[in-house]
């Protein structure tokens, strides 16, 4: 507390880093690139998990758990996959420590070297498809719809809390299907599910699309994605869903007997979202005062702060507050009554503002006399004095209204930051001066994509599924383009 | 399916291994010592997690997440702790793979050696207390009550599914307190919470006690435990809660300012239960036909199997079954209506018996005519024909009755297998012929404990908290003993 947050327009990046730490979401640990997710941040992640997990189960998926370690030889079985992950992985080479003979301390025991090195999973396709070979024999075993909640490790040189950490938490779905169409349908259904979650739980508008070849997942035939826009005009990939074709089935020899008795390779998808969503949530809604949380994900939805002098007044206030808190909890709201006597109301107001609690109730002597509460909403800072018997419906209204309002605000910002351009000059100008998504024509080649990336740092975020599909000419080469794609600088 | 399970009295160990795999709980993976937890097994673990998580939160704990990796130097800071874990840990030494220059494949990149090796956490005291140093300044920051759900790795040479695996899932609580008494109270409260969970959710009776010095957790001042008895007469440690004194606070220099402004070291506890509980659950209740699951943890509580010829009959049955399934689900029961036409009823009956579904409903033509269902309970195999309008209350009754009945059965077995002995000869005889817990006097020395362990493989499972506290004389040395302790062979 105390010191004010850096403002967004002074230094967006510094604002983010400060906010994540000061709002008690996460902090760096003593282990390079690995974060500690603090209780308040973890409570938000738990709500995300619960929402997603319910949606996965409702669409027929089951959870399971696969090993943390992947033998080096497994990773190598799918050629483009190992290419994609070999450069950034944690390698276990030994299984024992011992006391150094010269008394210099604890050392790795050279006699305990593994025959084959183990990689800490950067993603689990290989270990899972090695397992699916045993699980899948016949069309009766399909579809196989499995999800795993797990930690994964990708060795990152430059890390940022939630956005890019060497270890992160995620879910990874891995499904197996009898036909190509079924697998593609699954991958698309999951993209829709992720978009639904982003928009309706996180109040974060997203654009659905597919990745270009060079941005595809290592081992995928098609990568579907949802892309969000942060308040600094940079895009953030919020979730991906991959149609893997038969690549992993072939690498791990997973065949099934069709109804007609033929042996065929299985079709696959994989898909995931991670604690990166926490970073996206922070950057989509928060302001210079701190976090702004959507009611659906807020660990505390309503905080009640008593304003009093002396314990007699506090006691009288508590008598009014406790039945209200009870009533709200019975309706499923998460309510905190902060009656600490170690902190002043102003301090508490700042703390809950910083932590993004959607609604704050305050009750002081005048309210006690008038039978009222002061209700303040975090998103707009509007305050209102409300008679006690109207508090519950007011809060019910606010929970929905805040959820809607912050979505609309983010949606409007996003819409204002999709710019159509027709020349490369204009592209560079908009990218520099305004940021956001730029809808431009592109000739479909990796060469042009690379040139733009190198010269401007913008990448093709996706080829959108919806929207304008008019053909045109590439802004760089003038070659034909089937439709506009979305460029942006990205996290 | 098909082949019958090995019987318990033929080969208990083989029965267990077969059952875990065939009931779809878990299987070995291609990674030495690491298991795959299959969807059905994971669904049981999720129910355990949900039950425990609720209990932790109700007692004021919050979840957080700490890094997977522990720098070697951290592990070394608490002397007895590193002693306990150094011999069985996975060590990360490199952070990159590369293509071998001779084209022989993917190798560890020798240029990507870590400056300091990282240990995959075998438990998280060290990384957490390194964090707590930053979180704890004053008595206002205490108590700090944190839990983590995580995977941990202890390199095991001989592994068994759930009971002893190199990687396992667990929760680990880590709390910090201002006074010794508060920390001891916490450690004891958690032992009681674990016992409550074991008895009321798992239907598994346990004995609460403390460990002897030589069985204590590496770094603890006192280890509290709950001990269960398996059907083969071997004990299983089902959960431990450690009072850590100021050992970790001193090793990581975690001090707090008292109300009076003095600097003092913090008092600590840690406590955990793991996927080992899955093994305990299987071995406590299951029989020669398969799993027996307590209703509170069963992923499917009621299965409904239609017995029919032709699709017309199936359709008529489904019309009866679906409203019933809906009603039961509305009451919170997990119901599966198995209308697969690829399997015969007999096959389904065997499958759900193997998987331990507590209650099976069958409905055939005669039931359709008479307006009845056949209800079979898994624990006793009792069958009953019940009029349709009595099915719901019957199931409500059975859910409670099966939960109670399997607890009572396990409790009676356990009580019959606590034997008081007064001589070492008798001890060896009972251990050999009957097994179970043996209550005997012991002189309190490590020497005697070691001698007994070496000669009989029995260890002191705990010094019970409750029960007979009469003094006596050690069965081995004749020296004074303050009270009987419990010996057993153990998992």
B448: domain CATH number is 3.30.110.30
Q: Are residues B190 and B307 in the same domain?
A: no
In chain A, the number of structural domains is 3
Inter-chain residue contact A127 with B30, CB threshold 8 Å: yes
Instruction: Point out which residues pair with B150 in neighbouring strands.
Output: B170
Q: Are residues A337 and A435 in the same domain?
A: no
Give the pLDDT confidence of B42-61 residue by residue, as tens digits.
999 999 999 999 999 999 99
pLDDT of the residue at B80:
84
Q: Are residues A272 and A344 in the same domain?
A: no
Q: Report if residue A406 sits inside a domain.
A: no
Other C-beta atoms lying within 10 Å of the C-beta of residue B323: 10
pLDDT band at A129 (very low <50, low <70, confident <90, very high): very high
Inter-chain residue contact A89 with B95, CB threshold 8 Å: yes
Sequence-distant (6+) residues with CB within 8 A of A66 are A121, A124, A127, A128, A131, A148, A150, B29, B36
User: CB contact, 8 Å: A108 with chain B?
Assistant: yes
Of B285, B318, B348, the domain-final residue:
B285
DSSP element (H, E) containing B359: strand B359-363
Q: Report if residue B6 sits inside a domain.
A: no
The interface residues of chain A toward chain B in range 109-138, judged by CB-CB distance below 8 A, are 117-120, 127, 130-131, 134
Residue ranges making up the domain that contains B378: 302-397
Distance from CA of B139 to the nearest CA of A (A): 12
User: CB contact, 8 Å: B146 with chain A?
Assistant: yes
Q: Are residues B117 and B264 in the same domain?
A: yes
Helix axes A180-200, A39-58, angle to 10 degrees: 140
Q: Report if residue A325 sits inside a domain.
A: yes
DSSP element (H, E) containing A155: none
Contacts of A137 in chain B (CB under 8 A): none
Helix axes B276-285, B12-22, angle to 10 degrees: 110
Contacts of A27 in chain B (CB under 8 A): 134
User: What whole-number percentage of chain A has pLDDT above 70?
Assistant: 100
Nearest CA in chain A to B168: A67
Q: Are residues A278 and A342 in the same domain?
A: no
Distance CA A99, CA B143 (A): 36
Q: Are residues B138 and B204 in the same domain?
A: yes
3 state DSSP class of A369:
helix
Q: Are residues A241 and A95 in the same domain?
A: yes
Contacts of B71 in chain A (CB under 8 A): 30-31
3 state DSSP class of B105:
coil
Beta strands in A131-193 (DSSP E): 144-153, 167-177
| Bridge pairing between strands A437-441 and A459-464 | unpaired
User: CB contact, 8 Å: B71 with chain A?
Assistant: yes
3 state DSSP class of B239:
strand
Distance CA B95, CA A183 (A): 34
Beta strands in B121-221 (DSSP E): 144-153, 167-177, 207-210
Sequence-ordered alpha helix ranges (H) in A288-380: 310-330, 345-354, 365-370
Nearest CB to B67: which of A34, A127, A150? Answer: A34
pLDDT of the residue at A468:
87
Other C-beta atoms lying within 10 Å of the C-beta of residue A413: 16
Distance CA B197, CA B241 (A): 14
The interface residues of chain B toward chain A in range 217-276, judged by CB-CB distance below 8 A, are none
Q: Quick one: residue B316, left, alpha or beta (phi over 0 = left, psi -120 to 50 = alpha)?
A: alpha
pLDDT of the residue at A257:
98
User: CB contact, 8 Å: B25 with chain A?
Assistant: no
Give the pLDDT confidence of A52-83 residue by residue, as tens digits.
999 999 999 999 999 999 999 999 898 888 88
pLDDT of the residue at A366:
96
Distance CA B206, CA B194 (A): 9
Q: Report if residue B213 sits inside a domain.
A: yes
Q: Specify the CATH number for the domain of residue A321.
A: 3.40.50.800
Q: Are residues B256 and B223 in the same domain?
A: yes
Inter-chain residue contact B97 with A72, CB threshold 8 Å: yes
Nearest CA in chain B to A146: B39
Q: Do the Cβ atoms of B283 and B17 come closer than 8 Å?
A: no
pLDDT of the residue at B2:
59
Nearest CB to A106: which of B68, B86, B155? Answer: B86
3 state DSSP class of A477:
coil
pLDDT tens track, chain B, 491 positions:
457 899 999 999 999 999 999 999 999 999 989 999 999 999 999 999 999 999 999 999 999 999 999 999 999 898 888 888 999 999 999 999 999 888 888 999 999 999 999 999 999 999 999 999 999 999 999 999 999 999 999 998 899 999 999 999 999 999 999 999 999 999 999 999 999 999 999 999 999 999 999 999 989 999 999 999 999 999 999 999 999 999 999 999 999 999 999 999 999 999 999 999 999 999 999 999 999 999 999 999 999 999 999 999 999 999 999 999 999 999 999 999 999 988 999 999 999 999 999 999 999 999 999 999 999 999 999 999 999 999 999 999 999 999 999 999 999 999 999 999 999 999 999 999 999 999 999 999 999 999 999 999 999 999 999 988 999 999 999 999 999 999 999 99
Distance CA A38, CA A30 (A): 14
Q: Report if residue A184 sits inside a domain.
A: yes
Q: Do the Cβ atoms of B410 and B285 come closer than 8 Å?
A: yes
Half-sphere exposure of residue B489, counting CA atoms within 13 Å on the CB side? 18
Peptide bond before residue A160 is cis, with ω within 30 degrees of 0: no
Q: Report if residue B1 sits inside a domain.
A: no
Inter-chain residue contact B86 with A95, CB threshold 8 Å: no
Contacts of B70 in chain A (CB under 8 A): 31
Q: Report if residue A135 sits inside a domain.
A: yes
Inter-chain residue contact B86 with A105, CB threshold 8 Å: no
Q: Are residues B236 and B117 in the same domain?
A: yes
User: CB contact, 8 Å: B96 with chain A?
Assistant: yes
Please tell me which residue, A102 or A8, carries the higher pLDDT value: A8
Distance CA A306, CA A348 (A): 10
Asked if residue A117 has pLDDT above 70, the reply is: yes
Asked if residue A2 has pLDDT above 90, the reply is: no
Buried b (16+ CB within 10 A) or exposed e, B70-99: bbbebbbbbeebbebbbebbbbbbbbbbee
Nearest CA in chain B to A74: B30
Mutate to test the interface with B, among A27, A33, A39, A60 (most CBs of B within 10 A): A39
User: CB contact, 8 Å: A305 with chain B?
Assistant: no
Q: Quick one: residue A203, left, alpha or beta (phi over 0 = left, psi -120 to 50 = alpha)?
A: left
What tokens does B182 get?
Answer: 């508060």
Inter-chain residue contact B91 with A86, CB threshold 8 Å: no
Q: Are residues B48 and B127 in the same domain?
A: yes
Distance from CA of B344 to the nearest CA of A (A): 15
Q: Do the Cβ atoms of B375 and B301 come closer than 8 Å?
A: no
User: CB contact, 8 Å: B345 with chain A?
Assistant: no
Q: Report if residue B445 sits inside a domain.
A: yes
Q: Are residues B204 and B330 in the same domain?
A: no
Nearest CB to B117: which of A75, A89, A108? Answer: A108
User: CB contact, 8 Å: B98 with chain A?
Assistant: yes
Nearest CB to A39: which of B63, B67, B153? Answer: B63
Nearest CB to B29: which of A86, A87, A127? Answer: A127
- Tell me the residue length of chain B: 491
Of A397, A429, A459, the domain-final residue:
A397
Distance CA B240, CA B258 (A): 30
The interface residues of chain B toward chain A in range 35-54, judged by CB-CB distance below 8 A, are 35-39, 42-43, 45-46
In this prediction, residues A194-215 reach a mean pLDDT of 97
Peptide bond before residue A281 is cis, with ω within 30 degrees of 0: no
Distance CA A406, CA A416 (A): 15
What tokens does B74 get?
Answer: 């951290």
Q: Are residues B216 and B356 in the same domain?
A: no
ipTM for the assembly: 0.97
The interface residues of chain B toward chain A in range 165-194, judged by CB-CB distance below 8 A, are 167, 169
Q: What does pTM read for this prediction?
A: 0.97
Q: Specify the CATH number for the domain of residue A197.
A: 3.30.930.10
Distance CA B438, CA B450 (A): 16
Distance CA A208, CA A186 (A): 15
| CA angle (B186 as vertex; B182, B189 as ends), nearest 5 | 135
Asked if residue A387 has pLDDT above 90, the reply is: yes
What tokens does B111 get?
Answer: 């240029």
Give the pLDDT confidence of A229-283 residue by residue, as tens digits.
999 999 999 999 999 999 999 999 999 999 999 999 999 999 999 999 999 999 9
Measured CA to CA in angstroms, residue A317 lies from A303, A327, B474 at distances of: 14, 16, 63
Dihedral over Cα of A339, A345, A351, A357: its sign: positive
Of A346, A366, A397, the domain-final residue:
A397
């Amino acid at each position: 507390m105390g010191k004010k947050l850096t403002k967004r327009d002074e230094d967006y990046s510094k604002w983010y880093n400060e906010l994540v730490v000061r709002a008690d979401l996460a902090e760096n640990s003593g282990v390079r690139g690995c974060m500690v997710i603090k209780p308040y941040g973890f409570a938000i992640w738990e709500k995300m998990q619960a929402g997603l997990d319910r949606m996965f189960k409702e669409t027929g998926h089951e959870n399971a758990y696969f090993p943390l370690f992947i033998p080096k030889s497994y990773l190598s079985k799918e050629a483009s996959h190992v290419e994609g992950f070999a450069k950034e992985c944690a390698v276990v080479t030994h299984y024992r420590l011992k006391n150094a003979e010269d008394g210099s301390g604890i050392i790795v025991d050279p006699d305990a070297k593994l025959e084959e090195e183990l990689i800490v999973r950067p993603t689990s396709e290989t270990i899972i498809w090695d397992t699916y070979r045993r699980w899948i024999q016949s069309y009766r075993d399909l579809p196989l719809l499995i999800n795993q909640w797990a930690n994964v490790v990708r060795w990152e040189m430059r890390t940022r809390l939630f956005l890019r950490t060497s270890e992160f938490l995620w879910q990874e779905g891995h499904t197996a299907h009898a036909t190509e169409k079924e697998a593609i349908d699954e991958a698309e259904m999951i993209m829709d599910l992720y978009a639904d979650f982003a928009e309706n739980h996180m109040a974060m508008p997203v654009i659905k699309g597919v990745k270009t070849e060079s941005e595809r997942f290592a081992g995928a035939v098609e990568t579907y994605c949802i892309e969000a826009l942060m308040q600094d005009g940079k895009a953030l990939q919020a979730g991906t869903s991959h149609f893997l074709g038969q690549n992993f089935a072939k690498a791990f020899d997973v065949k099934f007997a069709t109804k007609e008795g033929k042996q065929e390779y299985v079709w696959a998808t994989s898909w995931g979202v991670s604690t990166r969503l926490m970073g996206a949530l922070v950057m989509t809604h928060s302001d210079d005062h701190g976090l702004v949380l959507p009611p659906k994900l807020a660990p505390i939805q309503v905080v009640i702060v008593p304003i009093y002098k002396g314990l007699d007044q506090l006691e009288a206030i508590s008598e009014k507050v406790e039945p209200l808190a009870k009533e709200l909890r019975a309706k499923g709201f998460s309510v905190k009554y902060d009656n600490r006597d170690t902190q002043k109301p102003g301090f508490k107001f700042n703390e809950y503002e910083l932590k993004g609690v959607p609604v704050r109730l305050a009750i002081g002597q005048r309210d006690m006399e008038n039978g009222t509460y002061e209700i303040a909403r975090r998103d707009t800072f509007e305050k209102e004095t409300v008679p006690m018997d109207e508090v519950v419906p007011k809060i019910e209204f606010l929970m929905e209204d805040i959820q809607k309002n912050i979505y609309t605000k983010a949606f409007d910002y996003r819409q204002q930051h999709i710019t159509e351009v027709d020349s490369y000059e204009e592209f560079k100008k908009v990218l520099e001066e305004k940021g956001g998504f730029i809808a431009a024509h592109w000739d479909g080649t990796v060469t042009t994509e690379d040139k733009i990336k190198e010269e401007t740092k913008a990448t093709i975020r996706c080829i959108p599924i919806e929207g304008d599909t008019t053909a045109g000419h590439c802004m760089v080469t003038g070659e034909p383009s089937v439709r506009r794609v979305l460029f942006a600088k990205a996290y």
